Structure 1
Amino acid sequence: MAERFAAAAPAEADLLASTVFGVHGARHLGGAPRQAEPAPGTSWWHGPTVHHTTSPLFRPVGYRRTRREAPALPAPRPTGGGRHRKPERPTTELRIAARLLLAHPLVTAEGPHGAALALIRRHATTLAERFHTLLGYRLTLGPDHARLHKSPLPGRGLPGLDPAGYAELVRALAALARGAQPGTSDDRVRALLDQWRPPAELAADLLTAPALPPAGPELTVRRLLAETPVVLLDDLAPAERAHLLAAAPAETERFADVLGLTAEIRAEGIALLDPADELTDLALPGPGTLAQAALLLAERLVEDLRPVDTDTAPPAVLIPDALIDGTLGDITDDYGMSAGWDAGYLADLAAFRRDALDLLHRMGLAAPAGRNWLLRAPAARYAPRAELQPAPGSGRHSRPAAGPAQPRGRDRQAV
């Protein structure tokens, strides 16, 4: 297996790692609109937005984030009339354990989430049944670990590892499985093993566990809903699209019950959101230069390119290449120094562009199309509401978009 990793291209190695290890976390967009849910069939391009509540750059001075509470859980059934009797807690505990496993599929006694191992073990039978029924995932437990076996996803390999790193990880796990020291000199692999703290039986399981059986349309759609930020109808195979169109309310209700996720159902597809902004391995909105710049880039591109027609809006629009460079130049001028952005990115706009677009891609808001990029409809949830009046670009780097004038909304300070 180490040789197979070493010989693979980077993207192939990431997919192989996702297939073999299946330890990627769930990924969901942050923020939920405060407006009422729009009428069925509303497009993301023209629906409610979270612009007022998400971007760290638009929060008032002295703002301190407070974690939103998850939706209220159903009241427990009465368990008796004694005044000292405590209410049942299985619904709460099951949801906590299920969310933890979806976010962190490896839980070891010596790892960072070791304290939750007893909770997982207490509800192991029900958790295994629910994960199997809902997602076709397999839950296994050893004396010192719990592992949720996930299905592979493109682009969801182990952060920081290239093909050589994956090969070294396989050799290190093989040594641990034999009860020997890994003996690796790769700092990335050592850091990962320090985080996982895998006992011998888990190291062996990671290398030898059978793959999950093939999934049909229903399980495929559910896995995408549970693990990815956005599921667009146009990205699905015909049978998968038919299932989602027919069963969207029932499917989203299942995820609300088991994981506490809420649904954003739009004409183009569905996004499941975590009201606590916790069930994701990437945060958008989020802190730091890259997350802030990517969000601003998406917002301004939406303002320039948002389709006017509310009845025939496409799920994605082509981004003129010069518009990306011009918009990134504008937001760097506007916020780079005042927001204390990373000096390396400010000095290398090509790397800044590459990494900002990559983050938008990983969050389902943009997609590569050959040498060009597409802006996807869900990006509009982070932009101001559409103002159906044309306005030229105002920044010194801006380039006018080709074609007819598009709706825009530049009044960012109004938030």
Structure 2
Amino acid sequence: MRRTRIPAADEPAARLRQAARILLARPLLVAGLTDDGEFRLVRACAAELREWFERETGWRLVADAQTIRLLKLTADPYDGTHPARDPRAKTPFSRQRYVLTCLALTALERTDGQVTLGRLAEEIVLAAAEPALADTGFAFTLDRRERRADMVAVVRLLLHWGALRRVAGDEEAYLGTGGDVLYDVDRRVIAGLLAAARGPSMISEATPEARLDALTSEVLLDLDDSRNRALRHRLTRLLLEQPVLYYDDLSEPERAYLTSQRFALLNRITQLTGLVAEVRGEGIAMVDPADELTDVRMPAEGMQSHLTLLLAERIAAAGPDGVRVGELHRHTRTLAREHRSYWRKHATDPGAEVDLVATALEALRALKLVTVEPGTDPLVCGRPAIARYALAEPTIRERAQPTIPEQKETLR
């Protein structure tokens, strides 16, 4: 478990900053799963943090002796570039795994204080067979290992959150159909997982898109103060959550508010979090000098990160016309041959470039560095911030010879 240096007691501003950074990195802290020093620090600063987040972002902070939860309402509910991941394999969740997670949480709300993995899976199979869900085309059974693997990935996520605590057994044994696992259920954690502007029971919209909008949209009074507060909340959320805030992605009222209030907004964020604003003509990025408050690092160690960096350079060099995914595949095959001595061996396997490029583009999209237009051979276009990864030919300038001033005699 990563341990963070806790500032000394005579550093109140530093303590508040560290507590805010811990909470932004992990909006759900559970006693026993979180480092004890970090948990105590955030809980001690909860009142000040609650006031700041409520005022600047509209997020609620709920804290008790066992759990601390920052209920972060997302600024963009349709942004799918930061998916949930299997805590062990790090693979992104599919739609099926998201549905299974929701069904698992529903089943855990009704179960006893302890549950086995097998029993939880049976409850999910029964729920998946309900007509209202089956009519959408969703189906789930346990007749294949892949489906059991989906179930294990969901449970691992719930263990990571603290909704479940393993008592006995191992998930790998369940995968092999030769064992089961016993868990304690923590309903306090489950009750605080959903961050929404409205409770699901209050939503009557029919389509999934309308239900998602209703779940995340907030009531806005037709008053200047209310509108300005909503603008401040949205912009601060974007600055805290997104790698880059592009002016072109904002509405006219949002751009106008940001233009007039930019200094105050950025200053308040910097004072609380230590993030430093990088302001350019196209937008703003809040840069973390400590490189802690991100889930996608670039550059980072490893072959995949090296490839991602090299592809970013290639996309940046393509300019506004962009580059086709097929061309990136060919470029990756060339790079794999050039770097075969220290890249993984499978990088030169036939077809390996497809997954390698897909993973790289996933990271570049998450960092708001590229857009990918769908098609038979998708077009990848760089966004303004990718210019920092472009390489230019070095220019050597001749150094002028220093001029020695003429000496003049001075009469004394």
1:328 deviates by: 2.6
Q: Which amino acid aligns with 2:188?
A: E
Percent same amino acid among aligned pairs? Answer: 31
1:351 deviates by: 1.9
Q: Which residue of 1 aligns with 2:70?
A: 148
Q: Which amino acid aligns with 2:276?
A: T
Q: Which residue of 1 aligns with 2:93?
A: 161
What CA distance in whole angstroms lies between the structure 2 residues aligned with 1:341 and 1:171?
A: 39
Is the contact between residue 174 and residue 203 of structure 1 (CA under 8 Å) also seen in structure 2? Answer: no
Alignment of 1:278-293 (within 5 A): 278-293=292-307
Is the contact between residue 244 and residue 368 of structure 2 (CA under 8 Å) also seen in structure 1? Answer: yes
Q: 1:344/1:181 Cα in 2 relative to 1: closer, same or farther (>3 Å)?
A: farther
Q: Which residue of 1 aligns with 2:201?
A: none
Please state which structure has a larger fraction of its residues in helix: 2
What CA distance in whole angstroms lies between the structure 1 residues aligned with 2:258 and 2:337?
A: 43
Alignment of 1:389-408 (within 5 A): none
1:320 deviates by: 4.6
Q: Which residue of 1 aligns with 2:365?
A: 361
**Match of 2:114, SS?**
coil
State whether structure 2 residue 309 is matched by structure 1 residue 295. yes
State whether structure 2 residue 343 is matched by structure 1 residue 340. yes
Q: Which residue of 2 aligns with 1:171?
A: 103
1:109 deviates by: 0.7
What CA distance in whole angstroms lies between the structure 1 residues aligned with 2:361 and 2:323?
A: 12
1:140 deviates by: 0.7
Is the contact between residue 108 and residue 114 of structure 1 (CA under 8 Å) also seen in structure 2? Answer: no
Whose RCO is larger (CA < 8 A, sep 6+)? 1
* TM-score, normalising length: structure 1: 0.64
Q: Which residue of 2 aligns with 1:5?
A: none
Q: Which amino acid aligns with 1:285?
A: P
**Match of 1:128, SS?**
helix
What CA distance in whole angstroms lies between the structure 2 residues aligned with 1:362 and 1:121?
A: 31
**Residue of 367, 377, 389 corresponding to 1:382:** 389
Aligned residues: 295
Q: 1:270/1:346 Cα in 2 relative to 1: closer, same or farther (>3 Å)?
A: farther
Q: 1:233/1:341 Cα in 2 relative to 1: closer, same or farther (>3 Å)?
A: farther
What CA distance in whole angstroms lies between the structure 2 residues aligned with 1:97 and 1:188?
A: 30
1:209 deviates by: 6.2
Unaligned stretches of 5+ residues in structure 2: 86-91, 122-150, 164-185, 199-215, 220-228, 396-412
Per-residue CA deviation, residues 286-318 of structure 1 (Å, 9 max, x unaligned), is 12222221111111332x334xxxxxxxxx553
Unaligned stretches of 5+ residues in structure 1: 1-68, 74-85, 307-315, 389-415
Q: Which residue of 2 aligns with 1:190?
A: 155
Q: Which amino acid aligns with 2:84?
A: L
Q: 1:176/1:93 Cα in 2 relative to 1: closer, same or farther (>3 Å)?
A: farther
Structure ID, larger Rg: 2
What CA distance in whole angstroms lies between the structure 2 residues aligned with 1:344 and 1:181?
A: 45
**Match of 2:279, SS?**
strand
State whether structure 2 residue 106 is matched by structure 1 residue 180. no
Q: Which residue of 1 aligns with 2:187?
A: 200
What CA distance in whole angstroms lies between the structure 2 residues aligned with 1:87 and 1:205?
A: 30
RMSD over aligned Cα atoms: 2.8
1:334 deviates by: 2.3
Q: Which residue of 1 aligns with 2:318?
A: 305
**Match of 2:285, SS?**
strand
Q: Which runs of 4+ in 1 moved over 6 A?
A: none
What CA distance in whole angstroms lies between the structure 1 residues aligned with 2:266 and 2:346?
A: 43
* TM-score, normalising length: structure 2: 0.65
1:132 deviates by: 1.2
**Residue of 237, 240, 243 corresponding to 2:251:** 237
What CA distance in whole angstroms lies between the structure 2 residues aligned with 1:325 and 1:176?
A: 45
**Residue of 220, 223, 238 corresponding to 2:237:** 223
Q: Which residue of 2 aligns with 1:257?
A: 271
Q: Which amino acid aligns with 2:154?
A: V
1:115 deviates by: 4.1
Per-residue CA deviation, residues 352-399 of structure 1 (Å, 9 max, x unaligned), is 2222112111111111123322111211212335769xxxxxxxxxxx
Is the contact between residue 110 and residue 197 of structure 1 (CA under 8 Å) also seen in structure 2? Answer: no
Is the contact between residue 315 and residue 381 of structure 2 (CA under 8 Å) also seen in structure 1? Answer: no
What CA distance in whole angstroms lies between the structure 2 residues aligned with 1:219 and 1:386?
A: 43
Q: Which amino acid aligns with 1:168?
A: L
Is the contact between residue 332 and residue 346 of structure 1 (CA under 8 Å) also seen in structure 2? Answer: no
**Residue of 105, 111, 115 corresponding to 2:33:** 111
Is the contact between residue 318 and residue 375 of structure 1 (CA under 8 Å) also seen in structure 2? Answer: yes
Is the contact between residue 262 and residue 272 of structure 1 (CA under 8 Å) also seen in structure 2? Answer: yes
**Residue of 248, 273, 278 corresponding to 2:287:** 273
**Match of 1:206, SS?**
coil
1:93 deviates by: 1.2
**Match of 2:291, SS?**
coil
Is the contact between residue 73 and residue 197 of structure 2 (CA under 8 Å) also seen in structure 1? Answer: no
What CA distance in whole angstroms lies between the structure 2 residues aligned with 1:122 and 1:242?
A: 37
Is the contact between residue 318 and residue 374 of structure 1 (CA under 8 Å) also seen in structure 2? Answer: yes
Q: Which amino acid aligns with 1:338?
A: S
